[in-house]
Amino acid sequence: MQNFVMHNPTKIIFGRDTIQQIGSEAAALGKKALLVYGKSSIKNNGIYEQTTSALKNEGIEIIEHAGVKSNPVISHVREGIRLAKTQKVDLIIAVGGGSVIDSAKAISAGATVDHDVWLFFKGKKSIKSKLPLACVLTLAAAGSEMNGGMVVTNEDTLEKFGIGNKLLHPEVSILDPTATFTVPADYTAFGAIDAIAHILEFYFTASDPETPVQDRIMEGLIINIMDSCERVLMQPEDYNARADLMWCATLALNGLTAAGLGRVGFPMHMIEHSLSAIYDVPHGAGLSIVMPGWMTHESTKNPQKFAQFGRRIFNIRKENEVEIAREGIKRLKEWFEKVAAPTSLSAIGVPKEDIDRIAENAMGLAKIWRLQEYNTDRVKDILQLCR
């Protein structure tokens, strides 16, 4: 295990009937809030009313910024920054999933500077301040509610970039599992797959080969994510299943899983970001395509960790590690198919002729994330295994 510092400043309020606490929590942070959310879902399921009533009861003035889309875009973030500045808000409140929270993070940082917010994502400017941020989570997936990362797409350049900064941690996030009762089956599955991908990025790319404690934590989370996702798909209003899935997704990317691993990479996300930047495919759906291909490609070089994954997650009992690794990847792909996620580029209508374009697009993020070992040829080889 490597030396590490784990410091997570986000306050989590978890459980049933907790959304009303957003009022008192927000009042401690500011008096005039920019309320960032998606489209109509939070109004249809009552979460909008719960949130705004709680804020108004505390005397907080609300400026609304709706319309965040899945795979959030920089133009909408820029409009939010303009609104935050002109209305002189002193607090950002995000009500939604990872896309909404990431947009809110970008707005909170961009509202404190004079330069264009995209310079943060390009690595040309560093984040040194932000407006306070409070969140009401409505989707178990990204983990953005308890970390310092954010991802946004520049729709003009087709670049989907993600960055991290400790200042981007929300001050407080409210996690009420009942807020996810109305999430449709496909996005429930995509969220679970996103959380699994976060864990597997660390699990397979850790530079330290001796991480037994972290391995068992990550394996336990994956098993619980798969189990709770299946329970939710069978009964969408199973509170305990929704709670298990929500907390697992948060723990997957809040610093716990990466502690002590040394240098890690996010190559599967790097490739998927290219997919969703070009084709606007749901992030989890892109990951269910990329993950088996990447794992197949990498397992040929070092099958031991992939064999461990197969043994511990799927209880595969064979002698040959290469066979166990191969079978474990096959079982994971079959689980993706079981929850109705796509597992090939052809399933989302991407022709093989586009592989070169996807690989080239991925190089921008590979540079920013310092994944120098991933050149276009390597990414093309992985994408060929995703067909």
Q: Is there a single domain that holds both residue 287 and residue 253? A: yes
Which residue range forms the structural domain that includes residue 369? 185-384
Alpha-carbon torsion, ordered 90, 82, 142, 23, to 10 deg: 30
pTM (2 d.p.): 0.95
Q: Is there a single domain that holds both residue 118 and residue 160? A: yes
| Residue carrying structure tokens 């697009």 | 361
Number of other residues whose CB lies within 10 A of the CB of residue 195: 29
Instruction: Tell whether 137 is covered by a domain.
Output: yes
Beta-bridge partners for 96: 137
Number of other residues whose CB lies within 10 A of the CB of residue 18: 18
The residue type at 356: D
Give the phi and the psi of residue 95 in degrees, each rounded to 5. -125, 105
Look at residues 123, 149, 179 and tell me which one is the last residue of a structural domain: 179
Give the phi and the psi of residue 224 in degrees, each rounded to 5. -70, -35
Tell me, what CATH number does 55's domain have? 3.40.50.1970
Query: How large is the C-alpha radius of gyration of the chain?
Result: 20
Number of other residues whose CB lies within 10 A of the CB of residue 11: 14
197-215 pLDDT, tens per residue? 999 999 999 999 899 999 9
Tell me how far apart the alpha carbons of residues 338 and 113 are, in angstroms, rounded to a whole number. Answer: 46
Chunked in runs of 10, what are the mean pLDDT values of the chain (387 residues)?
94 98 98 96 95 97 96 97 98 98 98 97 96 98 97 96 96 98 97 98 94 97 98 98 98 97 96 96 97 96 94 93 96 98 96 96 95 96 96
308-364 pLDDT, tens per residue? 999 999 999 988 999 999 999 999 999 999 999 999 999 999 999 999 999 999 999
Look at residues 160, 179, 198 and tell me which one is the last residue of a structural domain: 179
Q: Is there a single domain that holds both residue 230 and residue 246? A: yes
Tell me how far apart the alpha carbons of residues 311 and 327 are, in angstroms, rounded to a whole number. Answer: 9
Instruction: Tell whether 4 is covered by a domain.
Output: no
Instruction: Tell whether 122 is covered by a domain.
Output: yes
The 3-state DSSP composition of the chain as helix, strand, coil percent (nearest 5) reads 55, 10, 35
Tell me, what CATH number does 220's domain have? 1.20.1090.10
Q: Is there a single domain that holds both residue 218 and residue 169? A: no
Q: Is there a single domain that holds both residue 160 and residue 42? A: yes
Instruction: Tell whether 215 is covered by a domain.
Output: yes
334: Cα separation from own chain's centroid: 22
Instruction: Tell whether 1 is covered by a domain.
Output: no
Look at residues 179, 198, 222 and tell me which one is the last residue of a structural domain: 179
Q: Is there a single domain that holds both residue 175 and residue 208? A: no
Number of structural domains the chain divides into: 2
Q: Is there a single domain that holds both residue 110 and residue 233? A: no
Q: Is there a single domain that holds both residue 262 and residue 281? A: yes
**What is the enclosing helix (H) or strand (E) of 149?**
strand 149-154
Q: Is there a single domain that holds both residue 108 and residue 223? A: no
